[in-house]
Amino acid sequence: MHTLTQLKKYSAELVDLHHTLALMQWDQEVRMPRRAAEGRAGQFATLSALAHRREVSPELGALLAGGEAHKESLSVEDRALLRVMRRSYDQNTKLPEEFVAEFSRLTSQAQMAWLEAREQSDFAIFQPLLERLVVLSRQQAEYLGYAAHPYDALLDLYEEGLTTARVAGMFGELQAPLVELVRRFSGRLTPLSFAEPFPQSGQERFAEHLLVAMGFDFSRGCLARSPHPFTTTLGHHDRRITNRYAPTSLDFIFGALHEGGHALYEQGIDERLANSHLDDGVSLGIHESQSRLWENVVGRSRPFWQRFFPELQKAFPAQFAHTGLDDFIRGINAVTSGLIRVDADEVTYNLHVLIRFEIEKGLIEGSLGVADLPRIWRDKYRQYLGVEVESDADGVLQDIHWAHGSFGYFPTYTIGNLAAAQIWEGYKKYDPTFTQTLADGNLAKIKEWLVREIHSHGSVHLPEELLARVTGAPLSAQPFLAYLEEKFGTLAG
Ligand code: ZN
């Protein structure tokens, strides 16, 4: 059999195994009875081990080498398939088995320690585990290899090709203007608060309504409930999302738009890439650009709510009878210097990420010690956001990422925010009457453009390449800063 044909078959089998694991995960988060946990953990271990064995097999190594030998004669897609499979093969084979086992043991201990530390708001409980995780992560970087900085190797795990220098440059552009924007707009817009709870069935109905309006295809996906919203793929025609419903919060709206943005990306991947390693979003940053575009750029804009606010009022008369559109828009865009990243608005959000980036870089290069983190955290929050961190729980212990051993993940959130603004600039050139498009609720027009320009390509192009194809420029902070300046300048008058 031709090498490429064999490689595609191999790819399809691995994708099947991963979709099956995703189905088990979905079930665990959405529907699994409590006492099934132990059995499910065993099933995960068995199936993951089978998948891993196939991912590191010499057979796959030989197929990749065979394909690469005549790379020049291959189509763009076949070359991309080789690239993506090679990358995953190298990541899986460069780490010795004992290292992977130790890392996985340590992260499960670290997650328990982190939970307890956060509950008691005591960093000291988490500190020894985090110290060992930093040591292992530095070792991981050495195994994976890097050109300039050990943190490069970890960044690349989440965003192919991303480097420390690139992220430092990005935050260099962002930092001073963001601090200034926070100073200008913090506290200027009044947040919304609700005395009357939103009935859950109404929340679910409205979330579904927004998803239909965005173009989410319910014949190829579904919406369920889970404590932490997420999007997952169980097959080419099966892209699922979850949402959460709290009594007096608008999370049901922005959660649906966010996860819906992720799901549209997945649903939009071209059918010819089905059942292969290319049938996936290309990176976390580009994925996040799609969720942020729908959640923030579209979903917190005035023209969007010109169309949907009357419906929201009708669905929840007790909550919105005395709220006007302008108060609503200002409320959902209120800028608050806060302590918690996941609650942050569009202006302050990236400063939370900047703090984590500076700390991670310091830990991995060895210029910062784990023991100093609570103090460094307080100093940076004071310096960048002007807030006093009163407790470890609301400070250095708020995110689970480090307990997972995920160093290098945070910057992808900021890449998503920047890329969303840059992609939106591209859309505005294509559709100069975009304000009317939004006010008409013609979201299909936006979706179709995104499918053509971004979604349909799956993982064929590298993230930076894709962005440059769509927007004509490499990732830059300028479109995002211009977007914030215009939007919040207008909102605050
Ligand atoms: Zn997301």
Per-residue model confidence (pLDDT) at position 154: 98
Residue 138 has pLDDT above 80, yes or no: yes
What pLDDT band is residue 280 in, cutting at 50, 70 and 90? very high
Per-residue model confidence (pLDDT) at position 37: 87
CATH number, position 140: 1.20.58
The Cβ-side half-sphere exposure at 95, using a 13 Å CA radius, reads 25
Q: What is the DSSP letter of 343?
A: G
Residue 84 has pLDDT above 80, yes or no: yes
- Do 138 and 178 belong to one domain? no
- Do 85 and 184 belong to one domain? no
Secondary structure (3-state) at 58: helix
Pick the more confident residue, 488 or 37. Answer: 488
Measured over the CA atoms of residue 130, residue 22, residue 89 and residue 451, the dihedral's sign is negative
Of the chain, the end-to-end C-alpha distance in Å amounts to: 67
Question: How many whole angstroms separate alpha carbon 45 and alpha carbon 75?
Answer: 37
Mean pLDDT, rounded, for 368-382? 97
Mean pLDDT, rounded, for 102-129? 94
From the CA of 284, how far away is ligand 1's center (Å)?
A: 8
- Do 110 and 50 belong to one domain? yes
- Do 240 and 337 belong to one domain? yes
Per-residue model confidence (pLDDT) at position 331: 97
Q: Is residue 159 part of a domain?
A: no
Q: Is residue 245 part of a domain?
A: yes
From the CA of 124, how far away is ligand 1's center (Å)?
A: 30
CA distances from 269 to 19, 75, 134, 265 (A): 16, 18, 37, 7
Per-residue model confidence (pLDDT) at position 39: 92
Stated as kind and residue range, the H or E segment containing 238 is strand 238-243
Question: How many whole angstroms separate alpha carbon 317 and alpha carbon 308?
Answer: 14
Tens digits of residue pLDDT in 203-213:
999 999 999 99
Per-residue model confidence (pLDDT) at position 295: 98
- Do 118 and 171 belong to one domain? no
The three-state DSSP-derived secondary structure of 159-219 is CCCCCHHHHHHHHHHHHHHHHHHHHHHCCCCCCCCCCCCCCHHHHHHHHHHHHHHHCCCCC
Q: Is residue 57 part of a domain?
A: yes
Q: What's the mean per-residue pLDDT of the chain?
A: 96
Tens digits of residue pLDDT in 143-185:
999 999 999 999 999 999 999 999 999 999 999 999 999 999 9
- Do 183 and 125 belong to one domain? no
- Do 138 and 280 belong to one domain? no
- Do 139 and 170 belong to one domain? no
Q: Which one of the listed residues 160, 259, 288, 346 is annotated catalytic?
A: 259
Q: Which of 110, 145, 180 is the last residue of a domain?
A: 145
166 Cβ partners below 8 Å, 6+ apart? none
- Do 191 and 276 belong to one domain? yes
From the CA of 186, how far away is ligand 1's center (Å)?
A: 24
From the CA of 401, how far away is ligand 1's center (Å)?
A: 14
- Do 84 and 185 belong to one domain? no
- Do 175 and 79 belong to one domain? no
Tens digits of residue pLDDT in 406-458:
999 999 999 999 999 999 999 999 999 999 999 999 999 999 999 999 999 99
Per-residue model confidence (pLDDT) at position 228: 87
Tens digits of residue pLDDT in 14-49:
999 999 999 999 999 899 998 998 899 889 889 998
Q: Is residue 115 part of a domain?
A: yes
From the CA of 3, how far away is ligand 1's center (Å)?
A: 36
Q: Is residue 155 part of a domain?
A: no
Mean pLDDT, rounded, for 270-275? 97
- Do 133 and 217 belong to one domain? no
Pairing of strands 238-243, 223-225: parallel
| Total count of domains within the chain | 2
Tens digits of residue pLDDT in 225-249:
998 899 999 999 999 999 999 999 9
Mean pLDDT, rounded, for 301-321? 96
Mean pLDDT, rounded, for 319-331? 95
Q: Is residue 152 part of a domain?
A: no
Neighbours of ion ligand 1 (CB under 5 A): 291
Q: Which of 87, 114, 145 is the last residue of a domain?
A: 145
Residue closest to 312 by CA, chosen among 254, 253, 261, 260: 253
CATH number, position 371: 1.10.1370.30
Q: Is residue 89 part of a domain?
A: yes
Per-residue model confidence (pLDDT) at position 493: 84
Per-residue model confidence (pLDDT) at position 1: 58
Domain ranges, residue 348: 165-491
Q: Which of 82, 117, 145 is the last residue of a domain?
A: 145
Q: Is residue 150 part of a domain?
A: no
Does the annotation count 288 as an active-site position? no
Mean pLDDT, rounded, for 193-212? 96
